[in-house]
Chains A and B, each alone.
Chain A
Amino acid sequence: MAIRLEIPTALRQFAGKQASVEFNATTVGEALQQLTGTYADLRKHLYTEDGRIRSFVNIYLNDEDIRYLQKENTPTKDGDTISIVPSIAGGAKI
């Protein structure tokens, strides 16, 4: 089943400058693994060294944050869109 994965502008340089890519996947996690398997340079921006999605990386299935679904185990269906949406954070304190 074809799932569209939308890449934020900041990461397109690591995904062949594409705004979106398509994969066949049955869960959100599987689609993300395929994405980072195909475009390995994306991995360090999306995952921590121990393999968890970084806290400031938000994954949406259509318009739902997967944290409120079944996280990476959220099932996907043909025609779904997964979006990678950054949170932005920072501050003066070290």
Chain B
Amino acid sequence: MLIVNSDIAQSIRGYGARDYPNETCGAMLGCDGAEGREVRALFPLTNRRDDSPRNRFSITAEDFRAAERAAREQGLELVGWYHSHPDHPARPSEYDREHAWPWYSYVIVSVASGEACDMTSWQLSDDRSAFQTEEIAWAIPPGTIKR
């Protein structure tokens, strides 16, 4: 289960809408706990696919290393990646599967006519054959409960 608070979810939707009609992309920083995998912060990245940014995204090895450093500096782990599907459902494509890695959470937000809508999360099976749905638990941001 992927635990995403409303601030994080809003940010992913916002990046998706901001970068429409191109695909947005970035890293998710967080940690694995007893309740599931919690996303604590985002590390937005530049989509390096200049040739077809409307239906492709690419994160270079250098950007990967920068995201990993950012996670380390915050005492977190690089737990996954988010990207948008402009005018396309929030379901992974065959291209997504071919290029995916196991273990990571892959969040996809659908952006229809510039407006972010569905958000889903997926994980690649260990044998690389398919993506499996990862349930998202929507949480409230830390510090918003008054005691």
Contacts and interface: CB of A to CB of B under 8 A. Distances in A.
A85 B101 CA distance: 11
Interface stretch (B1-9, B84-92, B135-143): B84-92
Given A86-B61, A88-B81, A45 B102 contact: yes
A22 to B, nearest CB: 21
A44 B126 CA distance: 10
A13 B61 CA distance: 21
Contact of A89 (B57, B65, B94): B57
Nearest to B45: A88
B64 A86 contact: yes
B58 A88 contact: yes
A52 B104 CA distance: 23
Contacts of A89: 49, 56-59, 95, 99
Interface residues of A, number: 24
A88 B64 contact: yes
B96 A9 contact: no
A48 B40 CA distance: 34
A91 B59 CA distance: 12
A93 B103 contact: no
Given A58-B61, A87-B59, A87-B61, A92 B23 contact: yes
Nearest to B84: A92
Nearest to A44: B128
Given A90-B56, A91-B56, A10 B101 contact: yes
Contacts of A41: 126
Contacts of A90: 56-57, 83, 92-93, 95-96, 99-100, 106
Contacts of B104: 10
A65 B61 CA distance: 9
B71 to A, nearest CB: 9
B38 interface: no
A35 interface: no
B39 interface: no
Lowest 7 A-B CB distances belong to which pairs? Answer: A91-B56, A93-B55, A92-B88, A88-B59, A90-B96, A58-B61, A92-B85
